[in-house]
Structure 1
């Protein structure tokens, strides 16, 4: 075991506009978002964990999926996201063959999944658990 514990560990990522991130994560996605004393966002998860979101002037969107949200019904989740104005078809069919809504069907090779971006360009996924 290492000298540090895992209790209280959390993840974090950067954005270029903290106000746009707050609006997206709280208002558009409906997540529990608080602003801490340093002006960073804290996304509270139902599991008890949290995610730190901080502004970075030279932010570059991550080239990978930064958050994965397991859902019971991928079709319903994608319909809900699209109803909230979130684009869920962000990759070409050459990269990830998908339906017109952006859902990639795992067909036994993995979960059904759809990706979308936050206002800073970071990639997020919903996947059927």
Structure 2
């Protein structure tokens, strides 16, 4: 039977040492290093995301993780000071400003960036 309270997600990284530094020191997340260089992001009680090393890693072409924020401007400014570069999407329903903050028609505000392995992460403010 499915153990719903133990479901977790994961994605690969080219270099988990580099990923460890990024997720812990740049994003400020609780990260544990485990066996075989697998990282565990401790999101909240009972919810984890694993990051595993993969030879010939290919970055995800979609958002692998959404991080809710209470103030998008402050979050973007703080991460920009730590060297994070934000992606710019300009589509009919998305307009990204000079800071990298995207306003989606009839949707939440986002700011997308990549981790050191090129996986796409989003800050999101409802």
CA distance in 1 between counterparts of 2:36 and 2:53 reads 11
Structure 1 residue ranges (4+ consecutive) displaced by more than 4 angstroms after TM superposition: none
Which of the numbers 102, 109, 112 marks the counterpart of 2:109? 112
Residue 71 of structure 1 is matched in structure 2 by 69
Q: Please give the root-mean-square deviation of Cα atoms over the aligned residues, in Å.
A: 1.6
User: When the two structures are superposed, what TM-score results if normalisation uses the length of structure 2?
Assistant: 0.91
User: Which structure 2 segments of 5+ residues have no match?
Assistant: none
CA distance in 1 between counterparts of 2:60 and 2:84 reads 18
Higher strand share: 2
User: When the two structures are superposed, what TM-score results if normalisation uses the length of structure 1?
Assistant: 0.89
Higher helix share: 2
For residues 28-47 of structure 1, the aligned pairs below 5 Å read 28-47=26-45
Question: How many residues align structurally?
Answer: 125
Cα distance, 1:47–1:98 mapped onto 2, change above 3 Å = farther
